[in-house]
Structure formats: structure tokens, C-alpha cells
């Protein structure tokens, strides 16, 4: 075991498949272990590099192995897939992870801390509750429309439901069901409000999140999610790398010396990308009151490009500014140097 240099792990719920290699890339062992057996194995194993795909449970395993002294790395599954040989199985996947990790140009995912994962769970819970709340509103609209009652779109149905039930002679059972949906909406709205307060409280204690709030159009939700996904920004070589990681750069398909750029790649975290685009649209709506180099750049771009294209370009710019704030420990200033961020 003294020559062991690299171990690839194919993660599972209860069983884990390990593939070990020496410095030259020669296979040393293949093991199928339970979670307890794997932790015991690495506890008795000399320090080495452990690589796994960035998937469910990978960040926890990476943190645990790091406390044992091992170097842990996470790889995006899309970068491992090309190295999988035919007749796929779990051991072949573990070998492919080792092969991908041995490439000099391979890009890795930084393991998240417990605080980052907790805040990520909060965001996903909020997204789920918002979807349920929207679904409840749409159900109320649909059920009333089936009985000939048409109301304006949005939350109007929530405000006017008591008066609608009093004005129209609807079946008693239907009125009861609609009142239950109304109460369910109130519960969901209360839960979302509580999560927003908790998120704002956590953001106040986070130095990076507080500095990200200085960006134009960025609120607590976007700032906290940026802080979770970006961290200290050291895993990205430059601001463009971070923008590319969330899919805000053009997708390239060039051949024969001819450059062909298409729409944005839409890779990475969809929620963060959508939030940045929404922040860009809010900034564009208030462009008349904005000053500085960033506002001048947006105005000049709107004169020759569609607003949707400008929104994506501005979202890309906001992502780059966020990385600069994180990497250089600064805040956003809407002056001549803002564009340089």
C-alpha cells in the first residue's frame, strides 16, 4: 500500500466501489465496501489522492476523508463519461474516475462546507415551496373557471376568494375544497416568509454575502446563493471561468479555423443562472436612474442588441463582478473602475 497514489470511488447509497492505482497508473486493487468498511479502510490507508464524481453525498465523503489527511477531489460526471469503457459497471466507473483525474487539464469541483450545504438546502426548500404556492394559485383559478368564474391572473384569486364564494352559489363540497386550498396557500406563504427571514439573518453574518449585496439588482436570495456556489472563488482561475461554470458564456462550435459562437451554454446551476438573469432585467428596468460605467455600457448595448441578449450579457457581467468581489475582497462601486471588476 506504500505505493498507492490515486483511488477512484464510485459512490452509492450503501456500497462503494474502489479502484486503486500507483503513480504509474497501474491497478493495485478493486474493492467493494460498505460505508463503514470504506471509512475504516481509508483510516488505515497511507495518505493518497481520492477522487469521486460530484453527486449526492460526495461533499460529505470528501470532508470526512479530508479530515483523515487525504487529498480529496470531485469531478463533474460529464467529464468522467468519455473515459468509461464498454460493458459499463461500477468498477469500470471507478477506473474511469481515476483516468479522468489523471488528466493534467482536468477541472475539479471544490467540496462544499457544512455551512454551504445547509444554505443550499434552504434554497432548495424555498424553491419547492414557491412552486407549490404557484401551483395552488393555478389550481384555484382552474377550479373556479370550470364553474364559470374567471378572475384576473395572479394572487387576485387569493384575495377575492371569500367574496367569490359568498356571491356565487357553488356546491358546498366545492366551497370546502377551495377553502382548504386557500388555507394551504396561507401555510406555504408563511413558510416562505420564515425561510426568507432565516436567509437574511444568515446573510447578515456572512462577510462575502454582505459584500455581494452591494452589486446592482442583487438581493438576499441571489447573494446567498452566489456565496454558496462560489465560496472564496479560488477554484476559478478568472472571472470568465466562473461565468462559464454557470452557463453564461456562448457555446462554441468551431472547425476549420472558422469560429462559430452560439447561444449561452446553460451549464451549471440553473437556479443561479435564472436569478442572475432576473437581476439583470431588474437593473435594465431601472436603467434611467443608474449611473456609472456599467450603466453606460448597458445603454450602448441596448442601442444595437435585443433586450434579451443584453439581459444575458449583463448577467454574465454580474457573475464576473461577483467573482471579483469574492477573489479580491472588495465591494461593488458604480464608478469608472466598475467595468474592470
Pair 195, 231 in one domain: no
Pair 179, 212 in one domain: no
Pair 132, 241 in one domain: no
The enclosing domain of 77 has a CATH number of 3.30.420.40
User: C-alpha cell of 233?
Assistant: 472563488
In which domain, by residue range, is 213 found?
208-328
At residue 252, φ and ψ (nearest 5 deg) are -105, 135
Query: How does pLDDT run along the chain (341 residues), one tens digit per residue?
Result: 458 889 999 999 999 999 999 988 899 999 999 999 999 999 998 899 999 999 888 999 999 999 999 999 999 998 999 999 878 889 999 999 999 999 998 888 888 888 888 888 899 999 999 999 999 999 999 999 999 888 888 888 888 888 888 888 889 999 999 999 999 999 999 999 999 998 888 887 788 888 888 898 898 899 988 888 887 777 788 888 888 888 888 888 878 878 787 788 888 888 899 999 999 999 999 888 888 888 899 999 999 999 999 999 999 999 999 999 988 888 888 765 444 33
Q: Give the burial class of 197: count Cβ atoms within 10 A of its Cβ; 0-12 exposed, 13-18 middle, 19 or more buried.
A: exposed
* 341 located within any domain: no
Check if the beta carbon of residue 25 is closer than 8 Å to that of residue 35: no
Pair 224, 321 in one domain: yes
Q: Which of these three, 204, 225, 242, is where a domain ends?
A: 204
DSSP for 11-58, please give it. --SSEEEEEEEETT--EEEEEEEEHHHHHHHHHSSPS-EEEEESSTTH
Secondary structure (3-state) at 278: helix
Pair 45, 83 in one domain: yes
Rounded distance between C-alpha atoms, residue 232 and residue 282, angstroms: 26
Pair 193, 259 in one domain: no
- The total domain count for the chain is 3
Check if the beta carbon of residue 151 is closer than 8 Å to that of residue 144: yes
* 336 located within any domain: no
Pair 121, 91 in one domain: no
* 176 located within any domain: yes
* 214 located within any domain: yes
E strands in the chain? 4-10, 15-22, 27-34, 49-53, 71-75, 250-252, 261-264
Pair 196, 212 in one domain: no
Q: Which of these three, 204, 222, 242, is where a domain ends?
A: 204
Check if the beta carbon of residue 55 is closer than 8 Å to that of residue 77: yes
Q: Which of these three, 173, 204, 235, is where a domain ends?
A: 204
DSSP for 238-257, please give it. SHHHHHHHTT-SEEE--BTT
Amino acid at each position: 500500500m506504500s505505493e498507492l497514489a490515486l483511488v477512484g470511488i464510485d459512490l452509492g447509497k450503501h456500497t462503494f466501489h474502489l479502484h486503486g492505482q500507483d503513480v504509474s497508473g497501474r491497478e493495485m486493487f478493486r474493492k467493494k465496501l460498505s460505508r463503514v468498511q470504506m471509512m475504516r479502510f481509508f483510516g488505515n490507508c497511507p495518505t493518497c489522492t481520492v477522487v469521486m464524481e460530484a453527486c449526492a453525498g460526495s461533499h460529505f465523503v470528501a470532508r470526512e476523508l479530508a479530515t483523515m489527511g487525504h487529498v480529496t477531489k470531485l469531478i463533474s460526471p460529464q467529464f468522467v463519461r468519455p473515459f468509461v469503457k464498454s460493458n459499463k459497471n461500477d468498477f469500470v466507473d471507478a477506473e474511469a474516475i481515476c483516468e479522468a483525474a489523471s488528466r493534467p487539464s482536468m477541472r475539479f469541483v471544490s467540496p462544499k462546507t457544512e455551512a454551504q450545504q445547509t444554505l443550499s438546502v434552504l434554497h432548495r426548500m424555498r424553491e419547492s415551496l414557491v412552486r407549490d404556492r404557484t401551483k395552488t394559485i393555478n389550481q384555484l383559478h382552474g377550479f373556479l373557471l370550470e364553474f364559470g368564474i374567471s378572475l384576473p391572473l395572479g394572487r387576485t384569486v387569493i384575495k377575492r376568494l371569500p367574496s367569490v364564494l359568498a356571491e356565487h352559489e357553488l356546491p358546498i363540497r366545492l366551497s370546502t375544497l377551495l377553502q382548504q386550498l386557500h388555507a394551504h396557500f396561507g401555510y406555504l406563504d408563511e413558510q416562505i416568509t420564515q425561510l426568507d427571514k432565516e436567509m437574511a439573518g444568515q446573510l447578515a453574518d456572512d462577510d462575502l454575502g454582505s459584500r455581494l449585496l452591494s452589486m446592482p439588482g442583487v438581493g438576499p436570495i441571489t447573494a446567498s446563493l452566489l456565496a454558496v456556489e462560489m465560496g472564496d472563488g479560488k477554484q476559478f482561475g478568472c472571472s470568465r471561468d466562473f461565468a462559464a461554470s454557470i452557463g453564461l458564456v456562448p457555446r462554441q462550435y468551431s472547425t476549420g479555423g472558422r469560429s462559430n459562437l452560439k447561444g449561452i451554454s446553460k451549464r451549471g446551476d440553473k437556479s443561479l443562472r435564472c436569478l442572475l438573469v432576473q437581476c439583470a432585467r431588474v437593473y435594465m428596468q431601472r436603467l434611467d436612474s443608474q449611473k456609472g460605467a456599467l450603466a453606460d455600457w448597458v445603454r450602448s448595448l441596448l442601442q444595437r442588441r435585443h433586450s434579451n441578449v443584453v439581459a444575458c450579457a449583463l448577467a454574465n457581467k454580474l457573475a464576473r463582478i461577483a467573482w471579483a468581489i469574492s477573489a479580491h475582497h472588495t465591494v461593488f462601486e458604480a464608478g469608472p473602475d466598475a467595468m474592470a471588476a
